[in-house]
Structure 1
Amino acid sequence: MGATEVELGFCSNDQPGPQMPALAPQQPPLSPAVVSRSVRQSSTQTIAGIRAMSRAVQTADRQTGGGHLYRFVQNYLSTEIGPLLLDPVGDGAALFTAAASVTEAAGWMAHDDGRDETARDHFDYAYRLATAASNDVMIANVCASMSHLAGQMHQPHDAVRIAEAGLTQVRAASGARRLTARLHAMRARGLATRGDAQTCVRALSDAEHALSTAEDERSAEWIAHFDDGALASEAALCLRRLGDLAGAERHALRVIALRDGDRVRSRAFGQLTLATVLVQTGRLDEAVHLGYSVAKVAPSLASTRVRTRLNSLGAVLRPHAATPDVKEFLDLLDTLGNRRVEVPAWPV
């Protein structure tokens, strides 16, 4: 006799079946307090699940680049988080904040994959979700991302304006010192692009001060981590644009020293910034060596940003193509650029 037969009360071989169990006594209706507690527990579990997924995806993103993960995150947003937003259960503000964070992460992955217009759409939606949650810190976090993207899209005035709007949001917020430092750094990058050297350096100083006071602070939930390596990366880019090559080199070396382990993409950006500075100071051999280091990991990074920066290094090296080492490196870049994407084989 199968288990299903017992559970359904059926029997075989015409033998009498098991007796029907006595009906359980009718349960009293659940009190509003019990229902509320159950809803809160369900909501908490949902937010915890989104947080765990977000952390796992962002860890993988640092190692492999956004191109490998973007479709997965986009699908997660549409099939898992989207339906929850249509019928929020429990703490709606917490759910909208979590959704804003994952949407923002999708924007970064689209940006890393070279789809800046798509990234802008994600950041726009993340901003609206954070606003719906009335979460000033999350709004400011998205402002920092939008400021970065505006700078990348050659809109420095917007980059400065958006960063300043974010700073207004966190002026009285707790747990936001690292975010404040990030917003000052984003403002500095926009100012550097505008050629406003004095104000840019002052903004970098403000970022450094904010970060130095964040060691004993517990950061607010969901905001992006911003540390000494991230600030050094921004400072190196700003100072190189302003023509302070010695300062840019110093900060780029700090990035490389701090970005080890799983921070593959961040380390590559630091190496490329330093390599560009070295070309400008005439140290071609060192620049080519760094270029080779990045070219070695580039195929495993689904990062259009890394490829673009690598090609930019090639562009500044091209006037020196008569040098054998430079020519060899440029040939390698041509090979990488012309490499066809292999279609995966069927499993059978």
Structure 2
Amino acid sequence: MSHLDGQQVVDSIFATAQQWQVADRRIGGGALYPSVTQYLTHEIAPQLVSPTFGVSVPRLFAAAASITEIAGWMAHDSGEDGSARGYFDRAFRLALAGNDRALAANACASMAHLAIELRQPHDALRIAAEGLGQATTAYGTSRLIARLHAMRARGLALIGDRAGCCNALEDAERVLDKVHGEQPAQWVAGFDEASLASEAALCFLQLTELGEAERCAREVIRLRSGDRVRSRTFAQLTLANVLVHAGRVDEAAAIGHEACDTTASLHSARVVHQLRALGGVLSLAPKTSPVSSFLAALAGLSAASGEVNSAASSWPV
């Protein structure tokens, strides 16, 4: 980026971030993660040490925070949760250094999500509360505020607080209903009705309210199409788990088989990990034709790590 002027440096980072986000949704973070880490090392780090003349340093920090957060999600998608946690930590600190409260709140939403995945609900609730404090004083953060309420709901579901969980989901829905044409803050991740339905499905599955969980998961599958391959696949896996809990094993196996077909082009260790977990459950079921077909498709998947590395120091908030 040495040939660019100050404004162009930040614009280039923003354009690169958008391109990666689109590709990430379509093919998964595993395929892109090495390129992002190389970009951080060779393009972003030198700018932070010695910024291009004329660059806005706060905007540069915000740009660096955005790319660093994307790297965190790709690390998570590659099964490297310890690295993901480190990237989210740095993204939060860079956002604060850039005085960008929206981006700081965005990093909090990502950290809260990871804490939930690591079964640390009390940390998730504390981090989401910090994120809400940051987001409510920034412009263009309505969708982000809804996302943070959804993270609160997930944390409350994990500790068995049904009433609190439902209230948080209602808070998220109420905020989304009022978004209309609001221009979102730059760099902040999108969150829409399908995103909320996806989180709600996981909440209700955790609370064993299977009818509502199934309804929400099917809504995500209906809404997610086009390049949103990974989020649709996660919704299929949520639905398959709901159906297993409901004793509808053959239906679960059929959906799992469909997810296997998609996974061949989706570089996501998280998807493979969840598929293998579903396979572990269905391997104990009677070997009907759908179950046997799913297990055969699962065995045919190319090897990919589903291990989760959660080693990390304490959260930054």
> How far apart are residue 338 of structure 1 and its match?
5.5
1:297 Cα deviation from its structure 2 partner: 1.4
CA distance in 2, matches of 1:339, 1:62: 18
| 2:42 alignment partner, one of 79, 85, 105 | 79
Output the CA distance in 2 between the equivalents of 1:285 and 1:53.
43
Which segment drifts farther, 69-78 or 276-285?
276-285
112-121 or 305-314: bigger deviation = 305-314
Counterpart of 1:59? Answer: 22
Q: Which residue of 2 aligns with 1:130?
A: 95
Q: Which moved more, 1:329-338 or 1:80-89?
A: 329-338
1:196-250 superposed Cα distances (whole Å, 9 cap, x missing partner): 1110111011011111111221111100000111111000000111011111111
Question: What amino acid does structure 1 have at the position aligned with 2:132?
Answer: L
2:60 is equivalent to residue 95 of structure 1: yes
Relative to the length of structure 2, the TM-score reads 0.91
Match of 2:123 among 158, 164, 179: 158
Contact 2:257 2:298 in 1 (8 A): no
Q: Distance in 1 between matches of 2:72 and 2:137?
A: 27
Are 1:215 and 2:180 matched, yes or no?
yes
Seen in structure 2, the aligned counterparts of structure 1 residues 50 and 132 have a Cα distance that, compared at 3 Å, is same
Structure 1 residue 314 displacement after superposition: 1.6
Deviations 1:91-137 (A, max 9, x none): 10001000000000000000000000010111111111011011111
SS at match of 1:319: coil
- Aligned to 2:283, the other structure's residue is in SS state helix
The one-character-per-residue Cα deviations of 1:299-338 (angstroms, maximum 9, x if unpaired) are 2111011011111222332331332321332233233266
Note if contact 1:232-1:255 (Cα within 8 Å) is conserved in structure 2.
yes
Match of residue 22 from structure 1: none
Q: Which residue number corresponds to residue 246 of structure 1?
A: 211
Within the candidate set 223, 241, 248, 1:276 is matched to 241
Cα distance, 1:190 vs structure 2? 1.0
Matched residue pairs, number?
300
> In 2, distance between residues paired with 1:178 and 1:209?
11
> Retained in 1: the 8 A contact 2:149–2:171?
yes
Kept after mapping to 2: 8 A contact 1:276/1:316: no
Match of 1:172 in 2: 137
Q: Which amino acid aligns with 2:219?
A: R
**Aligned equivalents of 2:303, 2:130: Cα separation in 1:** 43
Map 1:194-209 to 2 at 5 A.
194-209=159-174
- Aligned: 1:230 with 2:198: no
**AA aligned opposite 2:203:** C
Seq. identity, %:
51
SS of residue paired to 1:320: coil
Answer with 1 or 2: which has the greater Rg: 1
Residue 305 of structure 1 aligns to a residue in which SS? helix
Quote the residue 1:332 is aligned against: 297
Q: Is 1:139 matched up with 2:107? A: no
Query: Is the 8 Å Cα contact of residues 70 and 110 (structure 1) preserved in structure 2?
Result: yes
Kept after mapping to 1: 8 A contact 2:257/2:293: no
Alpha-carbon spacing, 1:64–1:338, altered in 2? closer, same or farther (3 Å): closer
What residue is the counterpart of 2:282 in the other structure? 317
**Is the alpha carbon distance of 1:202 and 1:76 closer, same or farther for their aligned partners in structure 2, counting shifts above 3 Å?**
same
RMSD: 1.6
Q: Which of 42, 45, 63 is the equivalent residue of 2:8?
A: 45
